[in-house]
Structure 1
Amino acid sequence: MILLIAGLLGVLTGWLDLNELNQASQVVSELFIRMLKLISLPIIFFALVSTLSGMGEASDVKRLGGQVLKYTVITTLLAATVALALYLLIAPAGSVNTLTAPPELSETSASYWSYLVGVIPSSFVEPFYTHNVMGVLFLALLLSAAIITLENKHKSVLHSFFDSMFAAIMKMTGLILKLMPLAVWAFVNLFIHDLQNQKILQDLALYLLCVLLANIIQAGLILPMFLKFKGLSPWQTMKAMWPALTVAFFAKSSAAALPYAVESAEKTLGVQSKVARFSLPLCITVNMNACAAFILITVLFVSQSNGVTFSPLELFSWILIASIAAIGNAGVPMGCYMLSSAFLAAMGIPLQLLVIILPFYALIDMLESAINVWSDSCVTAMVNADLLPDMILDGEGSDRHNEKITQVDHH
């Protein structure tokens, strides 16, 4: 409500076009952008390292974790791929030709090689002061992989350190977000002041359509297809997990829905306890299908609306970037939005349009949280189906599983 009031006030002051207010808006927006840039790359780095360094290493954990991560990576990459396909089809950023390649093949090849070489930094601190997002992602993945292979005594210390650093960065983010109403006023005031025509409003509507369609296709088509392939009923799975989906929607947090998700999976869906209690907490942390779609569409839309063009290689590389970022995202409110702003700030893209998107993000965040929990539920159900034969051999019969599925059918 406060953000809505701030936005409406920005519309009013922008329409009045007072010089003093315009200057104040410039100062406020510049300060806010500087603060976002300050935390942008640390958010990406510590989110990924704190998440990935906490992976287990015992044989049972490896077996369960391997299955969970397999489905997480596949579904997240598919979500980002669908998002890119819709983005190119709908073209919300207007007439920018996103697939125009340089005319000379040699130049294209050279730029592609330079782009790939630039992913690997020459020093640990280089990507942070050069704002090399891909370099930061590479360092985070490399360091996480190294930490996972350490002995438990070293691994636990490092995981605790990076987890605490991420918590501290999120506290800083929370303090900065307290200034969000003032920033919304400033950005909307400047936006209205600079608005020359209605084209940007049309583009914004197409952007929102693109985000919603990407989420609907992922939740209503792709994930049910995975369940069908495993011989599971998408309708019965959704029915069983409905309490958790409802909590995630209204709380705007997949983490808040975790207790309900575990209870629904065990008692109603018939998932084995050790699967539900391992898979769902892990999925809440790393399985963010809706976040991958939002990050990809938002970063491309805001970038291209500010005149940035992407080569075909750069466009398709965003499938991987958005997927990695989503996997490293925390299941907290506005997590996807903050990661998108971090990428844009690190790329030096003006954030005015991103703040214009903010009032609409409240509804998007609710939908995305529910879809993320729905994806978590689907992954958990598929992992349970894959491991059920092994559990039967281990003495964990299928009678309980069949009994729960029968209960769902008669609910």
Structure 2
Amino acid sequence: MQEENKDKTPTAGQGRPASLGRSQTRTIILWFAALIAGGFLGWLQIDWLNELFGFIATVFTRLFKFIAVPVIALAVITTLSQLGAKKETRTIFGHAVFYTLATTFAAAFVALGLYIAIAPGNIPVSIASAGASQVPQNLEKLSYYDHFLSVIPDNILHPFLAGNVLSVLFIAVAVGLALAFMPKTEPRAALLKVIFGLQELLFTLIRALLAVLPLGILAFAAQLSAQIEAGVIVGALGKYVAVVLGGNLLQYFVVLPVFLLLRGLSPVRIYRGMAPAMAVALFSKSSAGTLPVTLASAENNLHLDKRVTRFVLPICTTINMNGCAAFILVTSLFLMQNAGIPITGGTMLVWTVIAVIAAVGNAGVPMGCYFLTLSLMASLNVPIDLMGVILPIYAIIDMIETTVNVTSDSCVAAMTDHDLKGRLPAEGGAA
């Protein structure tokens, strides 16, 4: 009986809900140990070992993708089906959008400030021309409108098979609202039971995946270390990279903690609780792929209301892109500058807004910001040869960006939960 009470204490949020238990602390230590061990083993450049780690990393990446898409769909459907168009749904959504726009604009302005301060120069024409062959061939012909059209599905299965996160979200919102406004009949109740059952099944799979996550971290770290040691990832564009990474690091270490402090929340507690999600984001380079771990961390470690996490986090996965806004803004200005287009104060402000809007419309998938920026520049007839020069170093940029994005998602959920504490009706069936 004593053991049972001991197990229940942390999850009930009694006593010390802000602190991590011993088992969670041990888990974090294990992750860091795996990170260090993986980096060392990858640095050794042992072929058969690198091949093994590459295989393990691919397995974990596929498992996260396998779980992520249905988690997004079911989380949004179950939340909307219970809340529908009621006031609490609008309240949750309103807070999420407000904090998303606030943090994303902050990220863009921080990056803009660094761009002005560091003032990266133009790249020699010979280097820029050499990068032309690295640019993906068909993407430069896509217009920005094509990205929005790709969100509208023409059949229900394709978005799930293709992993089109925005289309999946579109379908989930439609189904969730339809269930909310359906007559309260037996078929509706039976359908909801199945949907909630599937959701709990997925969360059981997530817990199993988290149990073996150290092996995945070991493989991801080894893979990255091997790439760096082999010279695959190089920093040829010093000032440009300094602006992009510097903006993201300032957002992570300064801006987001300030947002949390202003809402009376502890950045240390939030960051410690969300450490598993940050670790997966760093190596997966996918906000959507990290979502299962983000949800589990927010609910199990921070004890946030499930009605908030399962509605806010899937939406933030696709609209809350702090790191992406910084990359789009800096890269667009950099490419226009190299193309000889005058960069005035007005141009910077206009592109700050465009970068935020573009980031909101971006999908949380690996290299999503890169492809979106490429298409956006191509649609304006700006030479995109430099995108090929940026490509070899984008792997590092994408890792940092995704970590910032997921951290910002977590902060938005935590602030929304804090603001609505005690204001939402008693939880009836949203779990």
TM-score range, shorter chain: 0.5 to 0.7
Choose which of 318, 322, 339 in structure 1 pairs with 2:372. 339
- Residue 88 of structure 1 deviates from its aligned partner by 1.2
In the alignment, structure 1 residue 64 sits paired with structure 2 residue 64: no
- How far does residue 311 in structure 1 lie from its aligned partner after superposition? 3.1
Q: Identity, % of aligned pairs?
A: 42
- 8 Å contact kept, 1:253–1:331: yes
2:324 is equivalent to residue 267 of structure 1: no
The aligned counterpart of 2:5 is none
The equivalent residue for 2:329 is 296
What amino acid maps onto 1:58 in structure 2? A
CA change 1:163–1:92 in 2 (3 A) is farther
- Whether 1:367 aligns to 2:395 is no
Q: 8 Å contact 1:131–1:347 — kept in the other structure?
A: no
Whole-angstrom CA distance in 2 between matches of 1:229 and 1:327: 24
* Residue identity matched to 2:107: A
C-alpha distance in structure 2 between counterparts of 1:71 and 1:276, whole Å: 14
C-alpha displacement at 1:305, in angstroms? 1.3
User: CA 1:75–1:92 in 2, change beyond 3 Å: closer, same or farther?
Assistant: same
SS in 1 for 2:311: helix
**What is the alpha-carbon distance in structure 1 between the residues aligned to residue 356 and residue 253 of structure 2?**
20
Give the structure 1 partner of residue 261 of structure 2. Answer: 228
1:73 equivalent to 2:94? Answer no
* Matched residue, 1:314: 347
Secondary structure of 1:255's match? helix
Aligned partner of 1:298: which letter?
T
In structure 2, C-alpha distance between the alignment counterparts of 1:350 and 1:230, rounded to whole Å: 44
Give the Cα–Cα distance (whole angstroms) in 2 for the partners of residues 233 and 220 of structure 1. Answer: 13
- CA displacement 1:89-142 (0-9 Å, x = unmatched): 1111359xxxxxxxxxxxxxxxxxxxxxxxxxxxxxxxxxx9996xx59x96xx
Which whole-Å CA distance do the structure 1 matches of 2:374 and 2:318 have between them? 20
Select 2:357's aligned residue among 324, 327, 342: 324
Letter in 2 for 1:278: F
Q: What whole-Å deviation, never above 9, does each CA across 1:332-354 have from its counterpart, x for those lacking one?
A: 00000011101111111222211
The one-character-per-residue Cα deviations of 1:174-214 (angstroms, maximum 9, x if unpaired) are xxxxxxxxxxxxxxxxxxxxxxxxxxx99921000000110
Secondary structure at 2:341 match in 1: coil
Per the alignment, do residues 371 and 131 of structure 1 end up closer, same or farther by CA in structure 2, a change over 3 Å counting? closer
Question: In the alignment, is the contact (CA less than 8 A) between 2:235 and 2:241 conserved in 1?
Answer: no
Question: Cα distance, 1:308 vs. partner?
Answer: 1.5
Are 1:91 and 2:119 an aligned pair?
yes
Question: Partners of 1:202 and 1:238 in 2: how far apart?
Answer: 28
Secondary structure of the residue aligned to 1:331 is coil
Aligned partner of residue 333 in structure 1, secondary structure: coil
Shift of 1:282: 0.7
- After superposition, residues 350-389 of structure 1 pair within 5 angstroms as 350-389=383-422
Instruction: Give the counterpart letter for 2:314 in structure 1.
Output: P
Task: Report the secondary structure of 1:389's partner residue.
Answer: coil
Tell me, yes or no, if the aligned pair for 1:92 and 1:203 is still in contact at 8 Å: no
Give the match for residue 204 of structure 1.
237
Mapped partners of 1:131, 1:312: distance in 2? 28
Residues 354 and 168 (structure 1 numbering): CA distance in 2 closer, same or farther, change over 3 Å?
A: farther
Q: Which residue of 2 aligns with 1:82?
A: 110
Structure-2 change in CA distance of 1:202 and 1:232 (3 Å): closer
Gaps spanning 5+ residues in structure 2: where? 1-76, 124-140, 165-233
| C-alpha contact (below 8 Å) 1:271/1:384 kept by paired residues | yes
* Conserved? CA contact 1:79–1:289, under 8 Å: yes
Q: Rate the CA distance shift 1:242–1:342 in 2: closer, same or farther, 3 A.
A: same
Call closer, same or farther: CA 1:335–1:252 in 2, change over 3 Å.
same
Look up the equivalent residue of 1:72 and give its one-letter code: T
Secondary structure (helix, strand or coil) at the match of 1:329 reads: coil
The structural deviation recorded for 1:163 is 8.9
Q: Return the alpha-carbon distance in structure 2 between the equivalents of residues 167 and 345 of structure 1.
A: 28
Equivalent of residue 287 in structure 1, options 297, 310, 320:
320
In structure 1, how many angstroms separate the alpha carbons of the residues matched to 2:106 and 2:278? 21
Name stretches of at least 5 consecutive residues in structure 1 with no aligned partner. 1-53, 96-129, 144-157, 172-200, 398-411
What is the rounded CA distance, in whole Å, between the counterparts of 2:403 and 2:161 in structure 1? 27
Deviation of 1:81 (Å)? 1.1
Letter aligned with residue 62 of structure 1: R
Query: How much has 1:67 moved relative to structure 2?
Result: 0.8
Change (3 A) 1:169 1:323: farther
* SS in structure 1 at match of 2:288: coil
Task: From the superposition, tell whether residues 217 and 163 of structure 1 become closer, same or farther in structure 2 (CA, over 3 Å).
Answer: farther
Quote the offset at 1:328 in angstroms: 0.5
2: CA distance, partners of 1:168 / 1:349? 33
Work out the CA distance in 1 between the residues paired with 2:305 and 2:161.
36
Superposed, 1:96-175 pairs within 5 Å as 160-161=153-154
Determine if contact 2:143/2:378 at 8 Å carries over to the other structure.
no
- CA deviation vs aligned residue, 1:65-85 (integer Å, no higher than 9, x gap): 111011001111111111111
Alpha-carbon shift at residue 365 of structure 1 (Å): 0.5
What's the counterpart of residue 252 of structure 2? 219
Q: Alignment partner of 2:363: what SS?
A: coil
TM-score (normalizing by structure 1): 0.58
Corresponding residue for residue 252 of structure 1: 285
Residue 325 of structure 1, CA deviation = 0.4
